[in-house]
Amino acid sequence: MNFKLTILISFLLSVLTASIISQIGSKTALVDHPNYRSSHSLPTPRGGGIGIWLAFVIIGVFFFKDNAFTLIAGIAGLIGLLEDLFTLSSKLRLLIQIIISALIAWLFLMMPLSMITVLLFVFWIIFITGTANLYNFMDGINGIAGFTGVVGFSLIAYFSYYILNDYNLFLMSLILTAGCIGFLPFNFPKAKVFMGDVGSIFLGFVFASFVVKLSVTINIFLCMIMFLCTFYADAAITIYYRRKRGENLMQAHRSHLYQYLSNELKLPHWKVTLLYAVVQLCFGAIAVAVYQKGLVIQLILLLSFSVVFLVSYNLVKTMKPRLSEQ
């Protein structure tokens, strides 16, 4: 397999589709109109991540011949595209996500039937569904979903190739990295097009699926979740505080830390995006470095990051909103 060709296909298809959507999206149903939750003030085409999804499906079917996983993952992207075109029922969308997450968990969970297997199966369903949705929730400012994808899948590529000797997952991760890189010029630092659910839900779903596939030990799992540490931390802490305040978790909001930094504190999107990407890269790299140091060291890293992020979260939220326009 010519890995350079597959990476080039992913990059060029992402560039092409993002360019097309940025020009014609506003003339179709693929347009995002600002609301109270938005961090943008102008209607902007969405669905620019369609090339990332299409490239992965095409390469998966015709180059990898991995039809089962590719098509299941493709359904996740398709649901995202339908959400970009129409407004699907949240309950229907969640049900479909749970079903395809169950298919992935069943596909990769190679263990004899037991109570542990059943519990792990349920955990993976929740994990995959949750990761897909939190990736979507965190896609709210210019470049953040794209840069997170570049960093996260680059870390998976390195970990797969140099630590676990999994060449196929190495290449699949590089394909997604290339797709995110191809999309970024149209979304960062200024947004000509948004990634849309077709990109963000798909990336979150595939990231979680890779974690499930590789996590034959708890050590691998603890290492890999650090590759998406900023998204997991922001989403988890925000959900906790929203639940504590008695808010409806299914209702749209703008309570995430990155949203507060961008909307209330008026920091430019590019600064917030790069801050998240740098933190993600640093802690992800440290996670790889300590992977073979033992479970205790990994747990210390996870706990340290969680405490630092929680303290930073609460400290930032005490800062008074700025009144000047971004």
Q: Looking at the domain assignment, is residue 231 inside a domain?
A: yes
Q: Looking at the domain assignment, is residue 326 inside a domain?
A: no
DSSP assignment of 239-273, as one string?
HHHHHHTT--TTS----SHHHIIIIIS---HHHHH
Place of tokens 């970024």: 184
Strands 44-45 and 31-32: antiparallel
User: Which pLDDT does position 313 carry in this prediction?
Assistant: 96
| 137/256 Cα distance (integer angstroms) | 9
Residues 35-48 have pLDDT tens digits of 666 666 677 899 99
- Token readout for 31 is 């347009």
Q: Looking at the domain assignment, is residue 145 inside a domain?
A: yes
Q: Which of 121, 111, 142, 116 is nearest to 276 (CA)?
A: 142
Cβ-defined contacts of 32-36 (< 8 Å, 24+): 32/194, 32/196, 35/252, 36/254
| 124/100 Cα distance (integer angstroms) | 11
Q: Which of 125, 30, 158, 11 is nearest to 82 (CA)?
A: 30
Q: State which residues of the chain have pLDDT below 70.
A: 1, 29, 34-41, 322-326
Q: Looking at the domain assignment, is residue 10 inside a domain?
A: yes
3-state secondary structure 53-115: HHHHHHHHHHHHCCHHHHHHHHHHHHHHHHHHHCCCCHHHHHHHHHHHHHHHHHHHCCCCCCH
The single-letter DSSP state of residue 141 is: S
* Number of structural domains found in the chain: 1
Q: Looking at the domain assignment, is residue 236 inside a domain?
A: yes
Q: Give the domain range for residue 10.
A: 3-31+40-317
| 84/139 Cα distance (integer angstroms) | 13
User: Which pLDDT does position 326 carry in this prediction?
Assistant: 40
Q: Looking at the domain assignment, is residue 325 inside a domain?
A: no
Place of tokens 């998406």: 228
DSSP reduced 3-state for 314: helix
Q: Looking at the domain assignment, is residue 109 inside a domain?
A: yes
User: Which pLDDT does position 17 carry in this prediction?
Assistant: 95
Please count the CA atoms within 13 angstroms of the CA of 88 that sit on its side-chain side: 17
Global pTM value: 0.94
Q: Looking at the domain assignment, is residue 301 inside a domain?
A: yes
